[in-house]
Amino acid sequence: EPEVTQTPSHQVTQMGQEVILRCVPISNHLYFYWYRQILGQKVEFLVSFYNNEISEKSEIFDDQFSVERPDGSNFTLKIRSTKLEDSAMYFCASNGGQEKTQYFGPGTRLLVL
């Protein structure tokens, strides 16, 4: 069964460093999403991406964040200069075509020190 994959599973970084989180969505999906979950809190929407551009973004998704689909399979989230409060689990999801259900990857746990 197709699934969304994410790498790395865990990342530790120093405050101010850049991080890139990677996702491989399900191959025939057209819509891609990033969510984050701060420890103990609910899942929050960050950004959605369709047809090679951002379709919607939340207030959290400020200028420090960017997304890219560099090739036909990967979907990345970049944080340019990480802050302590960026520590969270980041989930990638995808859907599209006949499928409205969003399927989630296993997440990347980011820890900013």
Partner 1 sequence: AQSVTQPDIHITVSEGASLELRCNYSYGATPYLFWYVQSPGQGLQLLLKYFSGDTLVQGIKGFEAEFKRSQSSFNLRKPSVHWSDAAEYFCAYSGGYNKLIFGAGTRLAVHP
Cβ of 98: how many Cβ atoms within 10 Å? 6
Stretch of residues binding partner 1 (CB under 8 A), selected from 17-25, 63-71, 72-80, 99-107: 99-107
Interface with partner 1, residue 50, by CB under 8 A: yes
Interface with partner 1, residue 101, by CB under 8 A: yes
Question: Is residue 93 within 8 Å of residue 24, measured between CB atoms?
Answer: no
Query: By three-state DSSP, how is residue 9 classified?
Result: coil
Interface with partner 1, residue 53, by CB under 8 A: no
Interface with partner 1, residue 51, by CB under 8 A: no
Stretch of residues binding partner 1 (CB under 8 A), selected from 18-26, 54-62, 63-71, 72-80: 54-62
Interface with partner 1, residue 28, by CB under 8 A: no
User: DSSP states of 19-63 as a string?
Assistant: EEEEEE--TT--EEEEEEE-TTS--EEEEEEETTEEEEE-TT--T
Question: Is residue 96 within 8 Å of residue 30, measured between CB atoms?
Answer: yes
Interface with partner 1, residue 31, by CB under 8 A: yes
Interface with partner 1, residue 35, by CB under 8 A: yes
